[in-house]
Amino acid sequence: MRGPHNILRLIRTGATLERTGAMGLILDEMKAPNALRVVLRTLAWPFRWLGEEGDPNMPPAPRALNALGPAYIKFGQILSTRPDVVGAEVAMQLRVLQDKLPPFPVEIAKKMVKEELGRPVEEVYSEFSEPLAAASIAQVHKARLSETGEDVAVKVLRPNVEKAFRRDIDAFYFAAKVIEFLSPSSRRLRPTDVVAHFEGVVMGELDLRLEASAASEFADNTKDDAGFTLPEVKWGYSGRRVMTMGWAEGISLADTEALDLAGHDRTELGARVLQLFLSHALRDGYFHADMHHGNLKVAANGDIIAYDFGIMGNIDEYTRRVYAEILYGFIRKDYRRVAEVHFEAGYVPADREVEEFARALRAVGEPIFGMDATRISMAKLLAYLFEVTERFGMETRTELILLQRTMVVVEGVARSLDPHINIWEVARPVVEDYIKTNLGPKAALRDFAKTAKVLGRFGPRLPGLVEAALVAQANPKPIPQPKRRLKDIAIGGAVGAAAVAAAWTATNIH
């Protein structure tokens, strides 16, 4: 229930933010009004003793979220994709948030495997290791299948993690509603949608069958991609709380020294990582949205191996075309076309001037492209673009945020492999190929064929549908209003007043 009982959780959250120094940083980054800043910090100070101290060796924002527990750690990871909400510095801190927690005992993991698969662990696996990695939602063990002798990775959910996450998500929704109520200007950033996105990501990760399905779909899409492989899902050894996949043997992309010793070409690897991501996003509309070093390895034959499919991105065909045109426009320095694309997609309100928006985009692009190739940064471009779109009243596009954030992460991986990489030159062939394939005459004919196919299915029904719509428009029916007794109105007013009072209290404390 998203109600006033969440105030205690928000008090603890605010106290921890204040005690770790994160509150001041976040308020600065969000450019909070001075009056609000004074009120929040004054009210939070007396409750500092309720807050967690956290690890003093960590930056303030990840320090606070680490101290608050798994749900906050995961929420911090999601917020790292939203520099438009929390500010660039906080987003950067959260991007390196260590999603590492103490593992739970291997005996508990074995018990959960037995309950999920219906067979003792010793019968399923001839070997089952201690946990190799423990995160906020699950931990991973290396095992060997009894039937085939194949090495596999077994992912097991933390005990009772679903209940813990649902409780904290409740508090997040309550806080978002309060923020929207007390600060109408914040609605442009869609706080409730941010929490809803977080809930969707987490709920997907809490059912490992969905992650296995995502891995399987991703493998189907990418099976013909040269130099890219995925571990195979072992469906017969997987369930809601347990997932078994083939073991990914290779060198982490973070270990550049080991890559050099193994004779891998880091320049080629950096370019391949970036081009693979763009190809998956534009060609398939389905991409690995957590492509950091820890989720990427290089096999002995040079193939890039991706794993951990808890966060996947999905964009529809129209949005892919919009994104490709925006990227292509920047690559060609055609700022007028970039501006037109924003208006055509409805991203910028129609009452704004296209020419004025194009000039603002030129101010974004020219300083970037005037840099030396080694300093051209997608991260800087997106940071500047956020500023411009905010000024022109563009609402946050939740379908693009994850894509943009992943692009920044992939850029970081590519630069760690090759510090001299020219991001735009590497991206150009993939984007140009997509533009030629999907925005030329052939694409128009393909779209027309799809439209004709749909009309063919519904053709016999079209006259009736049109007639029914015209009749409904000519004779609109009044919407019946439920009768409300005076007692009901009084109760509703009292509940509403109590909710407003609780929201005000919670927000000021938080």
Closest C-alpha to 113, from 160, 154, 148, 53 = 154
Question: Cα(85)–Cα(156) distance, rounded to whole angstroms?
Answer: 33
Q: Which two tokens stand for residue 303?
A: 């193939």
Q: Which two tokens stand for residue 72?
A: 């906050």
Positive or negative, the CA dihedral 493, 494, 499, 501 is: positive
**Angle CA 247–251–255, to nearest 5:** 145
Across-strand partners of 493? none
Positive or negative, the CA dihedral 71, 75, 78, 80 is: negative
Question: Cα(118)–Cα(124) distance, rounded to whole angstroms?
Answer: 10
Pick the catalytic residue from 84, 290, 308, 418: 290
- Three-class SS of residue 419? coil
- DSSP code string of 67-91: HH-HHHHHHHHHHTT-HHHH-HHHH
Question: Which residues are CB-contacts of 130 (< 8 A; sequence separation ≥ 6)?
Answer: 103, 106, 141
Q: How many CB atoms lie within 10 A of CB 149?
A: 9
Closest C-alpha to 295, from 186, 239, 215 = 215
Amino acid identity for residue 507 in this structure:
T
Question: Cα(157)–Cα(207) distance, rounded to whole angstroms?
Answer: 9
- Three-class SS of residue 390? helix
Q: Are 48 and 15 in contact (CB under 8 A)?
A: yes
Any catalytic annotation for residue 290? yes
Q: Are 117 and 239 in contact (CB under 8 A)?
A: yes
Q: How many CB atoms lie within 10 A of CB 359?
A: 13
Q: Which letter, b or e, does each residue of 483-506 get, where b requires 16 or more Cβ atoms within 10 Å of its Cβ?
A: eeeeeeeeeeeeeeeebeebbebb
Q: Are 97 and 80 in contact (CB under 8 A)?
A: yes
Closest C-alpha to 95, from 317, 290, 235, 320 = 290
Which amino acids are annotated catalytic?
A: 290
